Amino acid sequence: MQSVILATTRLFAILGDPIAQVGSPRVFNPLMAKAGADAVLLPMHVTPADLKTAFQGIKTIRNFDGLIFTIPHKMAAMGLVDEVSMTGQLVGAINVARRESDGRWIGDMFDGRGCVRGLKDQGDDPEGKAVLLVGAGGGGSAVACGLAEAGAARMTIHDVDKAKAERLVDTVRRGYPGVPVALGAPDPTGHNLVVNCTPLGMKPDDPLPLQAEKLEAGTVLVDIVLKPDWTKLLEAARQRGCRTMNGIAMLRGQSMEIARFFGFG
């Protein structure tokens, strides 16, 4: 980890409100040190009312090279940068921005790519998979786009809010016309990659977000919930002979992808 900040040190930051809970500095600073980079990632507590002012100030600091946006800034940050990736445009949010050599700031979204990277790292490439995705909120939208970008064969999307699910189906169709996508029930039958993108599982008394009794052995089950790191859904999947990936593995994958975006991966 960078022990001394020098006049040559390149600066990166994560902006959020609150900020005390974020783990990115513990992940990125060792990655930068391992890469031999004279760089540091700082946590910065910025409220929504101050986000625009903070970003304008950061833009004037010439040794500031990149930002990570966490709750609640991912949507608002999209309107601050000079250019947004296709993924960011589809999702309607960004979680990173990088200063280019010409001074422009480029924004991108890595929540979905983190899921893909985590799956690939454990030997479960989503390419060619039939995907059931449950939960069409911000996390679900990013993961759906990430899996479609990675070459999923087809996708079924479910959300208790049907209108939200329909919007995500339309988003995937627009961005990835080669991936068949439709609304469906939370039934994993006929799918070999199942992803929970709802918050169900964070509380001990939460119901399961999908029909876990229909999971088949060999299916890959992903639960993006971070706490607890082992949910009832993951346990149900394990008992049925499924391969599993938790939210921590997805976060680790996202960190590696963002590090590469910043030039340290």
Is 232 a catalytic site residue?
no
- 208 secondary structure, DSSP code: P
The enclosing H or E element of 222 equals strand 220-223
Tokens 């949507």, located at residue: 75
For 260, how many CA atoms within 13 A lie in the half-sphere containing its CB? 9
Residues 226 and 199: their CA atoms lie apart, in Å, by 9
Enumerate residues 6+ apart whose C-beta is below 8 A from 143.
111, 112, 115, 133, 195, 197, 224
For 247, how many CA atoms within 13 A lie in the half-sphere containing its CB? 19
| Active-site residue (options: 34, 52, 59, 74) | 74
Write out the DSSP string of 139-190.
Answer: HHHHHHHHHHHTT-SEEEEE-SSHHHHHHHHHHHHHH-TTS-EEE--S--TT
> Catalytic amino acids?
74
